[in-house]
Amino acid sequence: MVYDTPMIEDLDLLASRIRQLTELTQSLRDENAALGKSLAQRDSHIRVLRDTLAAAQSRVEGVLARLPGGEEPAEEVEGEADAPDNASSPGSESADPGARSLYGTS
């Protein structure tokens, strides 16, 4: 049986492309596995950071509760929310955003 030369060239080209495709597929599988591992490590790190943040928040709340008049700052913040923006003192505005970020729910 005699094979046509252009047909053999086409088959060689097809075989070459199939090899490239399998190499690319394996490369993508390896990269996907590495990314999955990296993601799992980052998720674990985020959990550790959240736990650390929660512990620090607890400690800060404990210290604030032990301060004389521990409930007054919270009442002042609520009172300031009702006051117009230009009526609050500059010092309380700079302290308030930081306090809210510590206790934010997000």
Contact (Cβ atoms closer than 8 angstroms) between residue 92 and residue 80: yes
Question: What contacts 24+ positions apart, CB below 8 Å, involve 93-98?
Answer: none
Residue 29: pLDDT band with limits 50, 70, 90? very high
Residue 48: pLDDT band with limits 50, 70, 90? very high
What's the confidence (pLDDT) of residue 43? 97
pLDDT tops 60 at residue 52: yes
What's the confidence (pLDDT) of residue 78? 46
pTM of the model: 0.48
